[in-house]
Every structure is written in C-alpha cells, then in structure tokens.
Amino acid sequence: MKKVITANNAPAAIGPYSQAIKTDTLIYTSGIIPVVPETGFIPEGSRAQAELAFQNLSNLLEASGSSMEKVIKTTVFIKKMDDFGDINQIYSKFFPEPYPARSCVEVARLPKDVLLEIEAIAEK
C-alpha cells in the first residue's frame, strides 16, 4: 500500500508527481530543490542553496513520519562539481553518522536553474 505525502513547508510539486510516497516501511521523496515554499525565493550560492534544500528535505521527511536520521540513500544532483566540497560541508551538518549511502552527479540543468537537487529514501 502506498500513501501520498504532502508538506506545506517543502516545495510543492511543479509537475505530475508527488512530493513523497510512503509505503509500509519506506519513504521515497521526489527531488527537493532550494526554494522557500511560501515565497518561491531561491537564495544565491551553493552553500545557501544546500542549506535550504536539505532543510526542505528534513521538513518533508518529518511530515511523512520519518527524519534525516532514518535516511538510508540519497541522490544529489549538482550543477557544478566545483561546488562538491561546499555541499559536502552542509550535507554533513544535516545527516548524522553513519551517513546514508549516496550518489552525487553533475547535471547540465535543474528545475528553476537551481544549483542542486536532492532525493532520498528513508525508513519509516
């Protein structure tokens, strides 16, 4: 059985998809970008965008009954691999050890021209 998760304090879906799906044991999030949900504001710089994207992810996980501590896998999409170090510093503030498994890839372009996007799989 699957349940759609919606959180007002995380960016709304901008296409035909759900913010997250909850199954009996796992939560699968869609890609989360660094947008202030109430205003649509996007900060400048990879560090500020990483802070906001990871906070948005945390908010969505909390709305689904999970948390950053229960994340088992993430995928991070970044616009410039040069930002990898800065994003790692922010990432390590949001995810406690043992860190989740992770893939990180450079992509040509992301929604709303943000610098990064993150998706996660978490335990319930």
**What are the sequence ranges of the domains in the chain?**
3-123
Q: Read out DSSP for 7-32? A: -TTSPPPSSSS-SEEE-SSEEEE--B
Q: What is the CATH number that goes with domain 3-123?
A: 3.30.1330.40
Percent of the chain with pLDDT over 90: 96
Q: What type of residue is 36?
A: V
Place of tokens 């960016």: 11
What is the value of pTM for the model shown? Answer: 0.96
For residue 80, what is the DSSP state?
Answer: -
- The answer to whether the CB of 42 falls within 8 A of the CB of 34 is yes
Q: Is the pLDDT of residue 113 over 90?
A: yes
Tens-digit pLDDT profile for residues 17-52: 999 999 999 999 999 999 999 999 999 999 999 999
pLDDT band at 14 (very low <50, low <70, confident <90, very high): confident
Mean of the pLDDT values across residues 63-86?
A: 97
Question: Is residue 103 pLDDT above 90, yes or no?
Answer: yes
**Residue 71 pLDDT greater than 90, yes or no:** yes
Strands 26-29 and 71-78, sheet pairing: unpaired
| Distance from the first to the final alpha carbon of the chain | 14
